[in-house]
A and B are shown apart, each in its own frame.
Chain A
Amino acid sequence: DAGVTQSPTHLIKTRGQQVTLRCSPKSGHDTVSWYQQALGQGPQFIFQYYEEEERQRGNFPDRFSGHQFPNYSSELNVNALLLGDSALYLCASSLKDRLTKYIQYFGAGTRLSVL
């Protein structure tokens, strides 16, 4: 049973560019959340997608956008990259089931470096 998979594992971009990160949820999961983790900090919630719609959003600018596809996979897009966007981007999936919906399963992340 594959867990949460993210691609690519590493990425280098320059300021002003745009980037797309991809996530495939754990088999059977229908909800995807994205987090940003700066070095030495805990992950910060960006947004969550369910039924192809953004259900909740954290304190991130509109440069951060996302999408969920019918197969539940998801993309995170960041426009006009800033140096401060350099971080580990984590995807987490969960299942909208009464007993387990609040347990999130994380991928290993995509390390984004902005130069």
Chain B
Amino acid sequence: DAKTTQPNSMESNEEEPVHLPCNHSTISGTDYIHWYRQLPSQGPEYVIHGLTSNVNNRMASLAIAEDRKSSTLILHRATLRDAAVYYCILRPSGGGSNYKLTFGKGTLLTVNP
């Protein structure tokens, strides 16, 4: 599976935007980029995913570099409830290994009031 690299931790202030980076230089042309987050004492929660184009949903935006070797999860206005571990995951498309999610250690986001 292609590997992702994320900072161990990041800090933000409440109501400010947060940009969480992810490097995936070995991404293949058919790998989707998924983001999940895990709040304290909970299971991971789906945030957003994309292939080539930038994506927006009610939770966040995903900005994908033109060469697809990196991506950024954007939280437009961080709240205390956004404090969590954020995981960037590459998921191969097609048959075979496309069912599992391969998690790294993620980025621990701390949000200050």
Residues on A lying within 8 angstroms of B by beta carbon are: 4, 31, 33, 35, 40-45, 48, 55-56, 58, 90, 92, 102-109
With A56-B99, A108-B41 known, 12 other A-B pairs at CB within 8 A are: A33-B99, A33-B100, A42-B87, A43-B101, A45-B100, A55-B99, A56-B97, A90-B43, A102-B34, A104-B44, A104-B101, A106-B44
In the bound complex, residues from chain B placing their C-beta under 8 Å from that of A42 are 85, 87, 103-106
User: Is B46 within 8 A of A103, CB to CB?
Assistant: yes
In the bound complex, residues from chain B placing their C-beta under 8 Å from that of A44 are 103
In the bound complex, residues from chain A placing their C-beta under 8 Å from that of B101 are 33, 35, 43, 45, 92, 104
Residues on B lying within 8 angstroms of A by beta carbon are: 32, 34, 41-46, 49, 85, 87, 91, 97-106
Q: Contacting B103 at CB < 8 Å: which of A4, A31, A43, A109? A: A43
Q: Chain B at the A interface: mostly helix, strand, loop or mixed?
A: loop
CA distance A44 to B77 in the complex (A): 31
In the bound complex, residues from chain B placing their C-beta under 8 Å from that of A43 are 44, 101, 103
In the bound complex, residues from chain B placing their C-beta under 8 Å from that of A108 are 41-43
In the bound complex, residues from chain B placing their C-beta under 8 Å from that of A48 are 99-100
The list of the 10 closest CB pairs from A to B, nearest first, reads: A106-B43, A42-B103, A45-B100, A56-B99, A43-B103, A106-B44, A103-B46, A90-B43, A48-B99, A107-B43
